Structures are given as C-alpha cells and as structure tokens.
Amino acid sequence: MKQRSAVVARTLIKTAEARSKERYMLRLYVAGITPKSDRAIRAVKEICDQHLKDRYDLEIVDIYQKPGALRQDQIIAAPTLIKKLPLPVRRMIGDMTDKEKVIVGLDLKLA
C-alpha cells in the first residue's frame, strides 16, 4: 500500500512539473476600442503575467476589424477568451475582471 502511494505521489509531482512548463495559446475577442474591451485586455494580461510568466501567447482579436474570425471560433459575445492550448480547449465569456473565474477557466487553479 505504501509503495502504491509513493508511485501515485511521484506521478502527481511529474504531472504538476509538466503542467508548469506547458505553453498556453490564448485568443481574446473584444468588440472595438471601448472601456470594457480595455478592461478585459488588461485583466487577461495581468492574470497571464502573474500565473503564466513567459509561457503564453495572447492574440487579441477585434471583432469589428476581423468579422470573419467570429465564424472560425463560433463567437457569440465579446469579450470571449479562448484557451486553445494546452488541451482541452476552454472558453470564457463575459467579465474578464473576475480573476477567479478566468483562473479556473484557464485551469490554473482548481475551484
């Protein structure tokens, strides 16, 4: 029983180490240059800088400048944040200043 617990513990540690090195690919859809868009961009960048330092790529897409992108990612509202990598793909819609929601949505911390 103790051997099994030790194996499980080592596996969990290796998994955590691997996850701490994963690169995140994110896409944030915003609607124009508005205070709401600016708050969303700032909030997501702040969260990424705090939790994913040097391990993320963030693409900002203005739905008014690139309306074709809406269909590609099936965007129905803005702001929408999509975590493309690491899998699974996740999407968060709405207030990006709710840091806990974004952190859980990016799977950076368990709820």
Q: What is the pLDDT of residue 110?
A: 52
pTM of the model: 0.79
Q: What is the pLDDT of residue 71?
A: 85
Tens digits of pLDDT across the chain (111 residues)? 667 665 554 554 444 444 557 999 999 999 999 999 999 999 999 999 999 999 999 999 999 999 888 888 899 999 999 999 999 999 999 999 999 999 999 998 754
Task: Look at residue 102 in the predicted model and tell me its pLDDT.
Answer: 95
Neighbours of 34 (CB within 10 A): 12
What is the 3-state composition of the chain as percent helix, strand, coil, each rounded to the nearest 5?
45, 20, 35
Cis peptide upstream of residue 67 (ω within 30 degrees of 0): no
Q: Which residues pair with 29 in a beta bridge?
A: 61, 80
- Residue ranges of domains in the chain, CATH in brackets: 22-105 (3.40.30.10)
Whether the CB-CB separation of 31 and 79 falls below 8 Å is answered with: yes
